[in-house]
Amino acid sequence: MSWHGLLKREVEYVYKVTNGLVDLVDDDKLEWKPETGNNWMTTGQLLKHISDACGMAFKGFVAGDWGMPDGVDLSEMKPEDMLPPAEKMPTLGSVAEAKKLVADDKATALEMLERCTDEELATETAPAPWDQSKMILGHRLLQMVDHLKLHNAQLFYYLKLQGKPVNTNNLWGM
């Protein structure tokens, strides 16, 4: 299978799982977060992060657009500014908003993928703002799919801790 085929298949799959999990979130639980430990995102913050965890990064790697305001250079940012503590992360006001943003993020991921040839995915190096090591573009994009998968697992456990009747089928999109 080609990089392009693999990535398209993975994108379609991960967003199917994402949509299924987001459908289980209740608007009245957006402020919920685990009671023990620290630096936990609220459910609303997690949904906001999920809504740009993959496609936005595809756009950064493929088009060089990381969504930063004019005059902000990612290479000059401190690590704590790239990944702020949970209390400084943005949130969403509704599950409906999350669903729309997740759909937009998927569309962005697929649009960016269509801009790439298999040769580019297999040979172009793509340093990340948070990791300047040499890695091919296809591998970087696959990491962003995995990034979304990890946050899906986080949402799965948030739902479980909220008392939702989730099980392995929800986590795997079955």
Q: What is the CATH number of the domain that holds 56?
A: 1.20.120.450
Q: What is the pLDDT of residue 78?
A: 65
Q: What is the pLDDT of residue 127?
A: 77
Each residue's pLDDT, cut to its tens digit, for the chain (174 residues) gives 799 999 999 999 999 999 999 999 999 999 999 988 888 999 999 999 999 999 999 998 898 876 656 665 666 666 666 667 778 788 999 999 999 999 999 999 999 999 999 999 999 988 777 777 888 999 999 999 999 999 999 999 999 999 999 999 998 988
Q: What is the pTM of this model?
A: 0.90
Q: Which residues contact 125 (CB under 8 A, 6 or more apart)?
A: 134, 135, 136, 137
Q: Which residue from 38, 7, 10 is spatially nearest to 115, judged by alpha carbons?
A: 7
Q: Is residue 83 part of a domain?
A: no
Cα–Cα distance for residue pair 83/38, rounded to 1 Å:
15
Q: What is the pLDDT of residue 64?
A: 83
Number of domains comprising the chain: 1
Which runs of consecutive H residues, i.e. helices, occur in the chain? 3-22, 43-50, 55-63, 79-82, 95-114, 118-123, 137-161, 168-172
Q: Is residue 71 part of a domain?
A: no
Q: Is residue 47 part of a domain?
A: yes
Q: Is residue 85 part of a domain?
A: no
Q: Is residue 100 part of a domain?
A: yes
For residue 12 the two structure tokens come to 């379609």
- Residue 128 backbone dihedrals phi, psi, to 5 degrees: -100, 150
Q: Is residue 73 part of a domain?
A: no
Supply the Cα-derived Rg of the chain in whole angstroms. Answer: 17
Q: Is residue 77 part of a domain?
A: no
Domain that holds residue 153: 3-32+40-65+91-172
Q: Tokens 């977060």 appear where?
A: 33
Burial environment of residue 152 by CB neighbours within 10 A (0 to 12, 13 to 18, 19 or more): buried
Q: Is residue 146 part of a domain?
A: yes
